[in-house]
Amino acid sequence: MKSTVSTVLLLITWLTIVRAQCPSGWKVFGSKCYYFGTNMLAWGDAEAYCQSNNGHLAKDTADVHGFLSGEVSQLDTSGCNPIYNCNLYIGLLYTPGEGYSWSDGSAVDESFMPWQPGEPNNGEVEKSGEIEWRSSDWSDFKWNDKPLTWNPPEAWYICEQPAYPCEEGWKLFGSKCYYFGTNDLSWKDAEDYCQGEDGHLAKDTEDVHAFLSSEVASLDTSGCSPIYNCNLYIGLLYTPGEGYSWTDGSAVDESFMPWAPGEPNNGEVEKSGEIELRSNDWSNFQWNDKPLTWDPPEAWYICEKDATL
């Protein structure tokens, strides 16, 4: 039983790592993405760069130290002379009278502060933390303290940001990932595709309508003639005698059903819902009803599923 539970936990961890996404040039570990900057920046400039990428300088904690050390050991230090010129800033900051903090505002676990022998040694001044090189083949990297007034102030650096919880090609909004399919499928085939991706055709509810409209507005419809040939299926289904439902089984809020003028207009037949394109610059997209027997049955589509993190 213990072995089975361990296997399941490992599988969940593996799936999380595989499905989490990082920007190009960043590396995923657990639920975070890391960037190893090998250009010289002052600590404040490195933190500003990390913030511009939705993150902060990295927290070198007990659970990530082995990963960071392994990645740092693979960096090309051939141009670093002496080697410690290429120490790597982390998010550790010391403020006199206040002590240590991480640049993202989280507390430092003082039971794990892997200082080099003799460090920290710069007293009561404002100072940053670095992962320190001692030699080109040093693998168990430890910390050095460096006054912010040090001259020169520059070093390499490590940024950290949350891993993106949607696969490549999907877009995050709230706790959901969305995929905008611009190949033609019938409504049922589109729902099958979404289910194959662990989701369903999207629910166009009041809280996501503006997001979906904005994303649809950015799609390339230059090959759609007429434009409504590229309407996008959502998970709305009408069953005669039963009414509307979403394909994931949740109820439809009938107080928010943004039909286009004159819609729905196809009577008591089994039919799907689409986000309707009326023109290339239409931004407040509304709904159209489409019988499942419509010929041709194909359209674009939007999938939705839970984010992985």
Helix, strand, coil percent values for the chain (each to nearest 5): 20, 30, 50
Element (H, E) at 287: strand 286-291
- Count Cβ atoms below 10 Å from residue 269 Cβ, excluding itself: 14
Eight-class DSSP state of 279: S
- pLDDT tops 60 at residue 281: no
Cα–Cα distance, 29 to 46 (Å, whole number): 21
Instruction: Find which of 6-10, 14-18, 130-134, 248-252 is predicted with most confidence, using mean pLDDT.
Output: 248-252
- pLDDT tops 50 at residue 224: yes
Cα–Cα distance, 58 to 68 (Å, whole number): 9
Give residue 186's identity as a one-letter amino acid code: S
Instruction: Tell me the per-residue pLDDT of 76-85, one tens digit each, with 9 for 90 and over.
Output: 999 998 888 8
Instruction: Tell me the per-residue pLDDT of 125-136, one tens digit each, with 9 for 90 and over.
Output: 999 999 998 766
Average confidence (pLDDT) over 48-55: 92
Domain boundaries, the chain: 18-162, 171-306
For 308, what's the count of Cα atoms within 13 Å in the CB-facing half-sphere?
24
pTM of the model: 0.59
Residues in the chain: 309
- pLDDT tops 90 at residue 163: no
37, 157 Cβ separation under 8 angstroms? yes
Instruction: Give the max Cα distance, the chain.
Output: 81
What residues pair up with 273 in beta bridges, in sequence order? 289
Which of 234, 247, 253 has its CA nearest to residue 301? Answer: 234
Which sign, positive or negative, has the C-alpha torsion 271, 272, 275, 277? negative
Interacting residues of 163 by C-beta distance below 8 A, sequence separation 6+:
20, 21, 22, 28, 30, 31, 32, 33, 309
pLDDT at 167 (0 to 100): 84
Instruction: Please return the burial class of 77, using the count of CB atoms within 10 Å of its CB with bins 0-12, 13-18 and 19+.
Output: middle
Average confidence (pLDDT) over 285-305: 95
- Count Cβ atoms below 10 Å from residue 92 Cβ, excluding itself: 25
213, 283 Cβ separation under 8 angstroms? yes
Instruction: Tell me the per-residue pLDDT of 56-115, one tens digit each, with 9 for 90 and over.
Output: 999 999 999 999 999 999 999 999 988 888 999 999 999 999 999 999 999 999 999 999
Q: What phi and psi values does residue 112 have, to the nearest 5 degrees?
A: -130, 95
Q: What distances in angstroms separate CA 26 from CA 73, 160, 161, 200, one per listed residue?
A: 16, 9, 9, 30
Interacting residues of 11 by C-beta distance below 8 A, sequence separation 6+:
none
Which sign, positive or negative, has the C-alpha torsion 58, 60, 65, 71? positive
Give, in words, the CATH class of 171-306: alpha beta
**Tokens coding 302:** 């939007």
- pLDDT tops 80 at residue 149: yes
**Tokens coding 49:** 């760069």
Q: What distances in angstroms separate CA 1 from CA 5, 9, 11, 13, 15, one per listed residue?
A: 6, 12, 15, 18, 21
CATH numeric code, 18-162: 3.10.100.10
- Percent of the chain whose pLDDT exceeds 70: 89
Instruction: Tell me the per-residue pLDDT of 19-39, one tens digit each, with 9 for 90 and over.
Output: 457 888 999 898 899 999 999
Eight-class DSSP state of 96: T
- 21-25, 153-157, 227-231: lowest mean pLDDT where? 21-25
232, 300 Cβ separation under 8 angstroms? yes
Name the average pLDDT for the chain. 89
- 32-36, 47-51, 246-250, 281-285: lowest mean pLDDT where? 281-285
